[in-house]
A and B are shown apart, each in its own frame.
Chain A
């Protein structure tokens, strides 16, 4: 009995070690990003170690340079504005639509659910090219509005579909009881059902916000002026202009990633909920 336990322990330790090595390799890009960013500018260019080799090589000067000289703060602010507005707009459109598809019957609503699945399969490029022509005609390229519209619509199908699943799991009797008490159906939705789907709203928010924060393709087509660029574009522009200035580049990458990583750690319950909703629940 005892030897069996020891054997089990050994297997566990081996698995832990393998996992730790694996994770180190997988996270190497992020580890080296951080390690390079906190070196002094010279040390980063001269040494090849993962982290600063001595205390004198440790410095935050790259971060200061990036925020002040590169004006990276402006890019981050643009990304933050876009993420928040897109998330709010997405919830505003998706919450009632998801409810409608969940509660009302008829060919229209049936077609709508199929449409949502299909929308997620359309090639982005096919929509992006005409969108570019249309937005140019409307003179809204080079404004945050253009990507806000595009991102909101892009996140809509998944959001509606996910919220529909949440509404499906809430018993109809709740609204019916409220309606017997004299509520209209819409009021019952707002005051009784909507508050119960807050976990769903949280999942949608987390996904939409992360998608908007990380998006590059659409932004690169619509935003050409420096003042309006988002974080992903600002980073890319910096790569094109001073490609070999790795320490500043890594500092900028660090600043852009830390909020996202903190966000992921605190909201992972909702992230995992959303990731599995599509595939597991069907």
Chain B
């Protein structure tokens, strides 16, 4: 009994030290989170606040009967998966090339880091100039070398824009993968490679049997983290196409943003966000599992 009291006494400082952070997290994260979930069960439009009422799961039923929403959900997954996979592969290749003694490695690494560090609002203004059909350097160059006859409408044609926004997101994300994988690779002892080389292993087999197993855990965690970031990402697409043309580049964050902040339909918009939360919950479970198995290793 005395011991228990002592423990509480001892921990009091610990509780006190978390107070500022806890207050902020409770008031600005947790309360709005539950508030959002409860809003998703209501009919609530900011333009008609008097008609606000509880409607149970109706918003969700509506969403899953809405072809447009299902299409957006599908594209959100496509967008996220393609971005994460290409960022990972490209980051891996760059890390493999840089994971050797080469002069100027630091400069290369710094320069490759820049896309990740530049504000998306800045980067996407630059991309809009580059992709422009009249003054954009990419179209001018391609026409000059005769690869195309008329400019490619990177942003104005839906089926192209869907890949253009993925490309700019990839551009922003690969540096993270490169840095993380490079750090993990450089912690692999050199003599492992040397003895494999003695045994006659080539590049491919030492990659397959030494590098890959050693970076497996880091790869899993960084891919999951990036999935979360990209799935929730709003600014990349919004700043490039605004979700257009004709909603072709709508993802869930974009759709819920327009539904809530432009049309005032809070009930429906929060329901969309809760669907995102459910996807994230599944990802979180996978993430915690991977973390646990990493710790055990």
Binding site for B on A (CB under 8 A): 12, 15-16, 19, 23, 26-30, 32-33, 36, 48, 50, 92-94, 96-97, 99-101, 103-106, 108-109, 112, 114-115, 117-134, 149-150, 152-153, 156-157, 160, 185-186, 189, 210, 213-214, 216-217, 221, 231-232, 235-236, 239, 246, 249-250, 253, 256-257, 260-261, 264-265, 268, 271-272, 275-276, 278-280, 282
Contacts and interface: CB of A to CB of B under 8 A. Distances in A.
30 contacts: A23-B108, A28-B130, A30-B126, A32-B126, A33-B122, A33-B125, A33-B129, A97-B18, A97-B22, A100-B15, A104-B11, A105-B11, A108-B15, A114-B288, A119-B25, A121-B228, A123-B273, A125-B260, A127-B33, A153-B25, A189-B17, A216-B239, A232-B119, A249-B129, A250-B125, A253-B125, A256-B119, A272-B113, A275-B176, A279-B222
B244 interface: no
B121 interface: yes
B115 interface: yes
B221 interface: yes
Highest count of chain B CB atoms <10 Å: which of A26, A149, A189: A26
B284 A118 contact: yes
Given A27-B111, A28-B130, A96-B17, A282 B295 contact: yes
A68 B236 CA distance: 29
Interface of B: 7, 10-11, 13-15, 17-18, 20-22, 24-25, 28-29, 31-33, 35-37, 39, 97, 102, 104, 108-115, 117-123, 125-130, 135, 137, 140, 171, 176, 179-180, 183-184, 187, 217-218, 221-222, 225, 228, 232, 234-235, 238-239, 252-253, 256-257, 260-261, 266, 269-270, 272-274, 276-277, 280-281, 283-284, 287-288, 291, 294-295
Contacts of A93: 20-21, 24
Chain A facing B: main interface SS? helix
Given A28-B130, A216-B235, A239-B125, A125 B257 contact: yes
Highest count of chain A CB atoms <10 Å: which of B32, B112, B228, B274: B32
Chain B facing A: main interface SS? helix
Given A30-B114, A127-B33, A280 B14 contact: no
Contact of A127 (B36, B125, B288): B36
